[in-house]
Amino acid sequence: MLALGWGIVAVRYPQLKAEADRFEIMSRSKPVGPKDYAQAPQSMQLLNLAILLGMITLYTFAPMFFGLWALVPMVCYTEMHLGLDVLFSNAMAVNSYVLGKNGYPFWGMTFLIRLNIYVVVTIPTCILMTYLGSGTLVNGSEAAPRLDGLVLASAASSFVVVEILFTIGHWALHHLPSMAHLHKMHHCVRFVNAHAFGTFNMIDLMIEFGPAIVGMVMWNAVVIQDPWCVLLNYWWATCWGASDHDPWMNSAHAKHHLYTTNRYHIFLTSKGAFGLPNEPEKELIRKTIKF
Ligand SMILES: [Zn+2]
Ligand SMILES: [Zn+2]
């Protein structure tokens, strides 16, 4: 399946390169926008969104049943999601033009995107969920599916934990000189697509999602002390967070990419970050990227 994913990129490469060149010429005379490149048809976008949600469902629940063997379908689903993204849309071409202009070459990025997804997301998730599924992490108890007051309370509190930790990290990546250079690569993605979730400096990826996901898991495992709450909250929070980069969803985060707007939240759509300084002249990412 890995070979199929890379094969699709290799077959599509000449067309993507031609599209990136056309985009470069066009951008010399006018600012280019989402209408200026071939997006995937709506039906294909919806299919890939369904695959994304299925993929996260698999990430969350398959290790409970298959342990580390769940990595096999997890990788297959991920490659299918990335492959369809390249097959039907030219978003990767236009993003790779900006990435190239900023010193990040196409094939290096194709490799890094997968490395990020597998090393930072897929494998740790599989290990974590294998432990949770066997109840090892929480009191040795089973993760029994149910819906009650504790599950609802844990969902509401998890929303707050993820939102606060993600937003503070994301704001810092835009405003602190010591951190902004890490976030530059991710913002070379002007047009969100399946590849955007892996288009990260690896440290940036860990800063943005690490505290939010680890904090939320620990909140449910240590304070709430319920393995089912960990699984359920991981599932919906990751579905929601990942679909922020989905083209069909066209989320506030998609606009954050397109215009580098000052929307730093993951779930909320409002501007700003809980009252943290938010003046456009103090934002560093827009100043450092060559578009
Ligand atoms: Zn950002
Ligand atoms: Zn993003």
| Cα of 196 from ligand 2 centre, angstroms | 7
- Cα(97)–Cα(85) distance, integer angstroms: 17
Note whether 199 and 113 are within 8 A (CB): yes
Q: Domain-by-domain residue ranges, the chain?
A: 2-288
pLDDT computed for residue 287 by the predictor? 84
Q: Of the bound ligands, which one is closest to the alpha carbon of residue 170?
A: 1
pLDDT computed for residue 135 by the predictor? 65
| Cα of 233 from ligand 1 centre, angstroms | 24
* Side-chain-side CA neighbours of residue 238 (13 Å): 24
pLDDT computed for residue 130 by the predictor? 87
Residue ranges of the chain with pLDDT lower than 70?
134-142
pLDDT computed for residue 141 by the predictor? 67
Tell me phi and psi for residue 263, to 5 degrees. Answer: -105, 110
Token look-up 């432990």 returns 131
| Cα of 268 from ligand 1 centre, angstroms | 14
Helix axes 106-116, 2-29, angle to 10 degrees: 130
Q: What is the pLDDT of residues 249-287, one digit of tens each?
A: 989 999 999 877 788 999 988 887 887 777 777 888 888
pLDDT computed for residue 233 by the predictor? 96
| Cα of 180 from ligand 1 centre, angstroms | 9
Q: What are the C-alpha distances in Å from 289 to residues 22, 141, 167? A: 20, 49, 21
| Cα of 141 from ligand 2 centre, angstroms | 36
pTM score: 0.91
| Cα of 160 from ligand 1 centre, angstroms | 19
pLDDT computed for residue 162 by the predictor? 97
| Cα of 167 from ligand 1 centre, angstroms | 10
| Cα of 264 from ligand 1 centre, angstroms | 7
| Cα of 207 from ligand 2 centre, angstroms | 13
| Cα of 61 from ligand 1 centre, angstroms | 30
